[in-house]
Chains A and B, each alone.
Chain A
Amino acid sequence: MNNIKQEYAYWIALAHLPKMKTARKNELIVKCFEEKLSIVDFFHCEISDWHKLFSLNENEILLFNDAKKELPNYSFLVENLLEQGYDIIPITSPDYSPIMKSNLKRAYSPPLIYTKGNKQIMKENSVAIVGSRKAEDISLEFTDNIAKTASRDYKVVVSGFAKGVDKQALDSAIRYKGQSIIVLPQGITTFTSGYKKYYKQIVDGDVLVLSTFFPKAPWSVQLAMARNPIIYGLAKEIYVAESSKKGGTWSGVVDGLRKGRNIYVRTPLISEDNANNLLIQKGAIPVDIEGNKVEDYSISEIKESVALESSSAYDDIDTRIVKLLSQGAYTSKEIIGRLKIDWPTGKLTNYLKQNKNVEAVNKKSPIKFTIKGKRNLQQSLF
């Protein structure tokens, strides 16, 4: 089995395996990678090897045995998808978005993505513009500005094809002859009207449609929510046009901040009733309507202030940690001690796990961290 296409049915079986977290799936993929085994080899392993090599528990073995039975069925699905021009991209493929891998890491990177269009777009610098479905005009203007700048700078605009800001981001990118990724809240084959509408852009290589869900899945609220982290994952920079205090944009940004992402939020006018200021207080970077950083932003003007470390606090810690780790490997507790950081150990461990500059040396606790690439020179999957 030397043809990568022969692996696709296996990838679908793994990616859509129920009752198993993405992190665990990626762990198995990494193990295959390290052992120089293909996913085909993994599926056809003896049960003893599943135990020994991959530490699968009884429950997981049952899951994989069931999945194995469906392989011929998935082969039919794969044939159908490829025949219609959809691309199937496993996480091990050189076509897989490097940005997503570095943003979402092992814990959240989807093991398999489906696309239609120019997949090279995933390799370009990218900007996500997010916001409410019922955004104010000023937010749409902001979106247009960001998309214009991004297109001028050859950056790809990532959006989720919802109403409001998403739609504006896409339309503007197209208007300014930029490139876009549409991240679907549904399976890749169910975007009928969109494929008709953006036919020319897809054919010309300016639009890539992407989905992480089962190819035939219809739109649903759950998928729309699950789609948001993928948008954040595919983008190097995130711009927030408008967010309310709950919903997809809010939780996406809060999650992003927790993972240490740089997120730019439009500074709202006093008259606006939205949660943009709250996000800025939580550590997002304030920008004006053109997307330029606002230097003199003052949180004191905001009534509902929430005390939290400013983004510069993170920046500072980050620099100091990188400096320390470039000298060796340390546990979170050791780092807190040496750098005198006022954080609980658990928080720092999580922070380090998400940090793209840092990697773990061992698996068992206490985990030691060091600077990425320092440990060994072998290419790693993430």
Chain B
Amino acid sequence: MTRNEAEIKLKRIFGFDKFYDEQWKTIELLLRGERVLLIERTGYGKSLCFQFPATQFNGTTVIFSPLIALMRDQVNSLNKKGISAKYINSEQTHEENSQVIQNAIDGKIKILYIAPERQENQEWIEATRKMNLSMIVIDEAHTISVWGHDFRPAFRRIINLVQLLPKELPILATTATATIRVQADIEQQISGNLTTIRGNLLRENFNLFVIETKSEDEKLLWLAENINNIPGTGLLYTGTRVNTEIYARWFDFVGIDSTDYNAGLDGDTRKEIEIGLMSNKWKCVVSTNALGMGIDKPDIRFIIHTQIPASPIHYYQEIGRAGRDGQKTYIILFYNSNKDDDGIPEDTKLPKAFIDGGRPNIKKYQKVIDALKLEQFSVRQLMKKTNMKQTQIRVIKADLVDQGIIKEVIYGKSKMYEYQYNAPELNTEKFDKLRKAKLKDLDSMVDYVFTKEPRMTFLCEYLGDKLPGKFENCDNTKYRKRLVKPRQSTIEKLKEFRETYFPVLPMAPSTSKKVNENSELSVRIPKGTYIEVYKNHILLENVKTIDEVDTIKSLDSSEKEYLSKLISHHISYKEKLADGVASSYYGVSNVGSALHRCKYENGGDFPDFLLKLTLKAFRKTFGDRHFDLIVYVPPTSSGELVKNFAEKISYVLKVPISHKLVKQRETQPQKVFQNGYLKRDNVEGAFTYTEPDEIINKSILLVDDIFDSGATIKEIGKLLTNFGANHIVPLVIARTVGGDI
């Protein structure tokens, strides 16, 4: 096919007149059955380089992409052009994915997007035996390199696959972010007869700013006063999930229109937010960096980071999602340069913790190896056997698989880990090397903060771009530096926020039921008083009683019938736990350190400020509620602390306290256990209430000091429900961050 012929087809199918030269160069190679690595900036039009040839091939083109949002966008837009495209990912139900797989086998799909993790799925592997495959595409190819900014173990298998694919099958790898080192790594891994096409990665429409602060509060203050002055809508990236919540609540508090988003939300909620983002529903979406990658929104007008990313390439990748339309775009990075007593800058702590905590210590690796030398285990069995967190096990198993020491073997529907005969010794040098490289990357990121040269020049040099000229689009060149000079009223406001913001303990159970293919209903009773009704995970309405179900207009009669049954079932069988409240997160204020002193350093009773804060949290959330009884979690090792604390609460609230919730067997302190399975086992059947008749029809306030996995609260909730409690509301001093499972 000549370029001319191709461009006639391009016009007809995609509506574009011409290819860029590098697009055509790529397409020509692919049509000849060759392998190409294409490095072009976000918004260049990389997708067309596989979409067009895919329409020209007989069979199906498979695109491995880690980005669910991108899949959705591209599939929608391809379908609008009349090209049969589908995706397979965790957002769809099992049935939906199976249907897509069947369509692919039947040859009904030209372009199929799939998450790399799916390569571990047997149904998919079975399907790949029957499909007519015409091209393989690896999107976001930098994720196959450990030297890249977002290495994903699942991509290791895609690389293995690529190395096994026959000659003459076209393969395209694309990325918008690759340093020269990452490029070389990708080239070496894809191997075969590979052509690399690399364009310029710079973005001239960015206005780059760095705002140095002396505290976390200064970030909140500057944003409250300035974010509404930035034109358009955009994204605010925080370093942690907890911070997405805190920043979003703060924005609510000061009247900035925002919502929070993180990977912990369920798929439907995420989808809702992504759709809202597209339609500029909020001034700003507060998110971890999980959002925005792959979203085809050309007019994200600003991206603000409250934390420095792990390296300039992470940063380049994340800001690359903004301003794809070429219009002026604000890129702002906060950096808290305040140093702690040891002289370590506050804002390097989180990324350093990720680097150091990214790998468990070597003893833990050995523990896993030793266990697997004797027996095959599933992840869950390994967690129980070794008492490790799921996150640790995940890292360890990925490393051990990577080094060929263990294998993940699929038997029917279960995945087992097996030690390999003649396996090599664990190579820890690799880890050290990687750690050092990451620390160096982090140093470079800090260099970006303090650089005096044009910021775009700094980023381009880091990426290995050839520079076409001088940049003047940053606060080192044409624009003035932004400083934090908050008004007194804003400072007051933040103080007020700090004292009235209390984390929720999501303990109220929910019950769901699929009514038909398109409708799944679920209910929960978050406060013990009213019923939340969800349809397809979206809150529909609150009702007080089953009788009110009839008034819900958006449900048809069969759904209403289902819903009534669902509510009766929920009331009869689920624990009567409500969502509780904590006075603070454990790590983000002085609450955690005060608790630690009392519990583990013989610091005496919990100080009064904790009592005041906890009562404040209680009053704000449950102020108008009547409670019959206060019950507290009996201690394992910290003695009478919780009992004394609960007595004080009882005294202030004038609600009687009961000492009859007791242990009927020894338990270990929950913090000994590193994962939810063991925590649950530790407390299962551990409690009883000595005079159960007292409980019948009572509203109970359940007091504890620290809420972590929630396993203890859940277990007690079950017990009290069985004894006839009306509802049980947890009240704790602090909620930990990142409770496992």
- Decide: B166 and A72 in contact? CB cutoff 8 A: yes
- Decide: A82 and B160 in contact? CB cutoff 8 A: yes
How far, in Å, is A366 (CB) from chain B's closest CB? 42
Extra contacts besides A196-B376, A203-B421 (15): CB < 8 Å: A6-B163, A10-B166, A40-B167, A73-B133, A79-B160, A82-B164, A83-B157, A83-B408, A84-B407, A117-B421, A189-B410, A192-B412, A195-B411, A199-B375, A205-B422
Chain A residue at minimum C-beta to C-beta distance from B124: A76
- Decide: B420 and A85 in contact? CB cutoff 8 A: yes
- Decide: A192 and B411 in contact? CB cutoff 8 A: yes
- Decide: B166 and A75 in contact? CB cutoff 8 A: yes
CB-defined contacts of A243 to chain B, threshold 8 Å: none
**B residues 90-147 with Cβ under 8 Å of A?**
119, 125, 128-133, 136
- Decide: A69 and B129 in contact? CB cutoff 8 A: no
Interface check A71, CB cutoff 8 A: yes
CB-defined contacts of A205 to chain B, threshold 8 Å: 421-422
CB-defined contacts of B119 to chain A, threshold 8 Å: 79
Chain B residue at minimum C-beta to C-beta distance from A205: B421
Interface check B260, CB cutoff 8 A: no
**B residues 373-400 with Cβ under 8 Å of A?**
373-376
Between A and B, 16 residue pairs with Cβ closer than 8 Å are: A1-B192, A9-B164, A40-B167, A73-B133, A74-B129, A75-B161, A76-B129, A76-B161, A77-B128, A79-B164, A83-B408, A84-B410, A85-B420, A195-B411, A195-B418, A196-B376
How far, in Å, is A45 (CB) from chain B's closest CB? 12
How far, in Å, is A66 (CB) from chain B's closest CB? 12
Q: Is chain A's interface secondary structure helix, strand, loop, or mixed overall?
A: helix
**B residues 553-584 with Cβ under 8 Å of A?**
none
Chain B residue at minimum C-beta to C-beta distance from A43: B166
A202 to B419 CA separation, bound complex (whole angstroms): 9
Interface check B628, CB cutoff 8 A: no
Interface core residue of B374, B411, B420 (most chain A CB under 10 Å): B411
Complex A-B, nearest 5 residue pairs according to Cβ-Cβ distance, in ascending order = A85-B407, A76-B128, A71-B166, A72-B133, A79-B161
Give the total of B residues in contact with A, Cβ under 8 Å: 36
A192 to B414 CA separation, bound complex (whole angstroms): 10
Chain A residue at minimum C-beta to C-beta distance from B134: A72
Known: A79-B161, A84-B407, A118-B422. A195 touches B167 (CB 8 A): no
- Decide: B421 and A118 in contact? CB cutoff 8 A: yes
A82 to B192 CA separation, bound complex (whole angstroms): 20
Among A1, A5, A76, A85, the residue within 8 A (CB) of B167 is: A1
Interface check A200, CB cutoff 8 A: yes
A76 to B163 CA separation, bound complex (whole angstroms): 11
Chain A residue at minimum C-beta to C-beta distance from B407: A85
Interface check A369, CB cutoff 8 A: no
CB-defined contacts of A73 to chain B, threshold 8 Å: 128-131, 133
- Decide: A44 and B167 in contact? CB cutoff 8 A: yes
Chain B residue at minimum C-beta to C-beta distance from A82: B160
Among A69, A80, A195, A200, the residue within 8 A (CB) of B374 is: A200
- Decide: A195 and B164 in contact? CB cutoff 8 A: no
- Decide: B418 and A85 in contact? CB cutoff 8 A: yes
- Decide: B160 and A72 in contact? CB cutoff 8 A: no
Known: A69-B132, A195-B376, A195-B409. A204 touches B169 (CB 8 A): no
Among A1, A118, A203, the residue within 8 A (CB) of B418 is: A203
Interface check B290, CB cutoff 8 A: no
How far, in Å, is A8 (CB) from chain B's closest CB? 6
A5 to B374 CA separation, bound complex (whole angstroms): 30
A76 to B373 CA separation, bound complex (whole angstroms): 29
Chain B residue at minimum C-beta to C-beta distance from A207: B421
Chain A residue at minimum C-beta to C-beta distance from B126: A216
Among A80, A83, A192, A202, the residue within 8 A (CB) of B421 is: A202
Chain B residue at minimum C-beta to C-beta distance from A70: B129
**A residues 108-149 with Cβ under 8 Å of B?**
117-118
Interface check A3, CB cutoff 8 A: yes
**B residues 160-208 with Cβ under 8 Å of A?**
160-161, 163-169, 191-192
Chain A residue at minimum C-beta to C-beta distance from B169: A72
Known: A192-B412, A202-B421, A203-B419. A75 touches B164 (CB 8 A): yes
Known: A75-B164, A79-B157, A84-B410. A204 touches B125 (CB 8 A): no
CB-defined contacts of A82 to chain B, threshold 8 Å: 160, 164
CB-defined contacts of A72 to chain B, threshold 8 Å: 133, 136, 165-166, 169
A1 to B600 CA separation, bound complex (whole angstroms): 62
How far, in Å, is A350 (CB) from chain B's closest CB? 39
- Decide: A77 and B421 in contact? CB cutoff 8 A: no
Among B136, B373, B412, the residue within 8 A (CB) of A203 is: B373
CB-defined contacts of A84 to chain B, threshold 8 Å: 407-410
Interface check A78, CB cutoff 8 A: yes
CB-defined contacts of B133 to chain A, threshold 8 Å: 72-73
**A residues 1-23 with Cβ under 8 Å of B?**
1, 3, 5-6, 8-10
